[in-house]
Amino acid sequence: MTEEGPPLSGEPAVELNGVSLRYDTADTILSDLDIRLKPGTFTFLTGPSGAGKSSLLKLLYLAHAPSEGEVRLFGQRTADLSRKQLSALRRRIGVVFQDFRLLEHLTAFENVALPLRVSGEKPEQYTDEVVDLIRWVGLGARINAFPQALSGGEQQRLAIARALINKPDLLIADEPTGNVDPDMARRIFRLFIELNRRLNTTVIIATHDMHLIREFNSPVLKLQDGLLFADSAYEQA
């Protein structure tokens, strides 16, 4: 990965101002959040189950709109964007879902190539790149396998490869190492760090893994009961 990342500017890559989220019938999931992340930052998001981590990530990868407040990504107020502009913005975001969301009828290669395919690129333009990335995540021998033939860990690595293939400006990962062994977890985190440093990609990782948080020593956002109660630099848990 040698490409230049997004230009550094004073504009936050991620900015939430007074954001709250409520679903139709349930209680408030997120309350009055204010977050600013500069481009190129590497941030952990942690908190107990049900704290609202996944909901916050959904706001960031544009799967939900906030009930109150505003979300700005790369300086753009998402509420002001047309559907076409939202699609273009999503192409700058790579997401590793907790449940992987791999398409069962597509092979490993096709799943990883999906973001490029929907961008209109031709297979001859991306085949080598996709193959290299699949090999890098250790699935070179399974390149033509369908997701149901892969183990949980293999599926997770495939989901990570899909999130990275576009060299996103913002990478969002929801428990990306939940199904892999510690060695693979470290390897994946090192990849995220490499992406962050080489391409200046802004990375947000939701995780419960306090060992990895300690090991990689990055700022931590803590969520509890929908409230952000610490957005300081790294603190010892």
Partner 1 sequence: MQKMNPLLPASDAREAALFFVVAALCFLAVLATLTARGTYTAAKAWTAQVEGEMTVRISDTDRRGAEEAATLIAGMPGVDAAHVLTEEELNELLAPSFGPGGIPDGIPLPLLIAVDASGDALTLAAAINDQLSAEGITGHAEAHSAYAAEVRKALATLRAAAIGMVLLLTMTAISVIAFATHAALLARKDIVDVLHLAGAEDRFIARLFERRFWLLGLKAGAAGSVAALAVTAMIVFSAQSSSAPSELLPKLSLDAGDLIILAVAPVAGALAARIAARITVGRSLRSSL
* Nearest Cα to Cα of residue 53 among 72, 89, 37, 29: 29
CB of 149 to partner 1, least distance (A): 14
Q: Which is nearer to partner 1, 115 or 176 (CB)?
A: 115
Binding mask 107-136 for partner 1 (x = CB under 8 A): x--x--xxx-xxx---xx--x---------
Contact status, residue 177 vs residue 209, Cβ threshold 8 Å:
yes
14 Cβ contact partners less than 8 Å away, ≥ 6 residues apart: 35, 36, 37, 60, 72, 73, 170, 202, 204
CA geometry: angle at 46 spanning 44 and 48, to 5°? 170
- Asked if 167 interacts with partner 1 (CB under 8 A), we say no
- Asked if 83 interacts with partner 1 (CB under 8 A), we say yes
Q: Which is nearer to partner 1, 61 or 189 (CB)?
A: 61
- Asked if 169 interacts with partner 1 (CB under 8 A), we say no
Q: Which is nearer to partner 1, 10 or 83 (CB)?
A: 83
Q: Which is nearer to partner 1, 100 or 192 (CB)?
A: 100
Candidates 10, 25, 26, 84; binder of partner 1 (CB under 8 A) is 84
- Asked if 105 interacts with partner 1 (CB under 8 A), we say yes
197 Cβ contact partners less than 8 Å away, ≥ 6 residues apart: none
Torsion sign (Cα): 210, 214, 217, 223: positive
Say which residue the tokens 């481009």 belong to: 39
CB of 110 to partner 1, least distance (A): 6
* Nearest Cα to Cα of residue 39 among 202, 190, 149: 202
SS3 190: helix
CB of 224 to partner 1, least distance (A): 27
Contacting range for partner 1; rule: CB under 8 A; set: 7-15, 98-106, 205-213, 226-234: 98-106
Query: Binding to partner 1 (CB under 8 A): which residues in 49-68?
Result: 61-63
Q: Count the site residues for partner 1 by CB under 8 A.
A: 28
Q: How buried is 68 (Cβ within 10 angstroms: 0-12 exposed, 13-18 middle, 19+ buried)?
A: middle
Residues forming contacts to partner 1 in the complex (CB under 8 A) are 61-63, 83-84, 87-88, 90-91, 95, 101, 103-107, 110, 113-115, 117-119, 123-124, 127, 162, 166
